Amino acid sequence: MENLSDNYYVEQSDVFELLALMFRLNNYEYMQSEKHRTKESFNQFIQDSFSLLSDETKKELDCFFHKDSFFGLTFVQLLYRHNKWHDIPAFLSFLEQLEFEEIISAFLSSGYSSPEKIEDYTDGQEVFSYIQSSALPFSEQAKLFYLYFDKGNTKQRFLKVVAEINEKIYQPFIKKINAYHEDSIHKLSGMNRKQLNKITNPHFDASDANEPNKIILIPSYFYHTSSLFSYSSESDIAIYLIGAELIEQTMDESREEDKVIDLAKALSDRTKIKIIKELNQQPRYGFELAKQLNLSSPTISHHISKLSDLGLVTAKRYENKIFYQANQELIEEALQSMSDMLIAKER
């Protein structure tokens, strides 16, 4: 793992990239909002890859990588903790041996989970109550409860679909994907602290003291212009899966018009507006925000990620929880930038 600056590190991960591919495959149409910035070759690769899958495999992808729950992406911190995030065969072997309680514990952490902890994962009533009080949509609550009670099949189903996507799609292109990783790592290695902060500090406020003890950047071809943020309060480690195109955009200071367009899109989305208005009242913990706005936890997670990437929302740690707040100064600047771009000035 290469140290970039102070508490910033960068590393390549085929395991995390494989999980990112599975999420992208299942949510390709949903993620089309990126299309105005997405390369046609990337779109074609995803479409062609998806067409190779059987209907059964597509259903399994939708089970574990649905946009409202993304259970398959909840393993990030667990895999890091056990050092099983580099080698795919080692990852699959680890999953095979993993106790089901750890799998369901990861699934239950989807999005912004309840701050309450489950004492006994063998107690069906306790697990049921926890799931029922979560901010997941009802359909995903029902799915999670079924996965919990179908222990014998759940792990094997997940292993099977991961192994199939790895064999059919990931492995045939692994050299090309790794080349993208190496190029992205090279670009990150050449960034100064200000540029690194552009990638990560939208998720935290500008104070270095507020940053996690360790920040690990993982380049991802399949996250493209998006990012995934995973934080563990126990270890105080933040892991970012950063889209390769997002890294490219961070280096390109000339894309001012694209930035203004992204800000305009964010500020024209009804859900994002609701989130900003709520956070203008007071900082909110993710789970609390989901409950307050009557939205699913993963939905909040998705919108917060986009708002954070743009700097419209920042985060502060307080008593091992991450609270989000609106960045009022940047919102004012964004509105002024839109005005400057659209309204011709008198000369």
Beta-bridge mates of residue 220? 243
Cα angle: 252, vertex 258, 263; to 5 degrees:
120
Residue 347 has what pLDDT? Answer: 40
Q: For residues 12 and 325, give the distance between their C-alpha atoms in angstroms, rounded to a whole number.
A: 31
279 by DSSP, 3-state: which? helix
- Torsion angle of alpha carbons 333, 267, 204, 200, nearest 10°? -90
Q: What percent of the chain lies above the pLDDT cut of 90? A: 40
Report pLDDT digits (tens) over 306-328. 888 788 888 877 666 778 888 88
Q: For residues 347 and 340, give the distance between their C-alpha atoms in angstroms, rounded to a whole number.
A: 14
Q: For residues 178 and 97, give the distance between their C-alpha atoms in angstroms, rounded to a whole number.
A: 28
Report pLDDT digits (tens) over 143-184. 999 999 998 899 999 999 999 999 999 999 999 999 999 999
Q: In the chain, count H helices and then E strands.
A: 17, 8
- State mean pLDDT over 17-22: 96
Residue 7, token pair as written in the block: 């508490």
Residue 335 has what pLDDT? Answer: 80
Q: Which of 18, 326, 57, 67 is nearest to 173 (CA)?
A: 18
Assess whether pLDDT exceeds 60 at residue 346.
no
237 by DSSP, 3-state: which? strand
Beta-bridge mates of residue 8? 5, 215
Assess whether pLDDT exceeds 50 at residue 246.
yes
Confidence of residue 221 (pLDDT cuts 50, 70, 90): very high
Residue 115 has what pLDDT? Answer: 66
Q: How far is CA 134 from CA 107, 126, 127, 278, in A?
A: 12, 13, 11, 20
Assess whether pLDDT exceeds 60 at residue 240.
yes
Report pLDDT digits (tens) over 62-121. 999 998 888 999 999 999 999 999 999 999 999 999 999 899 989 988 766 666 788 888
Cα angle: 231, vertex 237, 242; to 5 degrees:
65
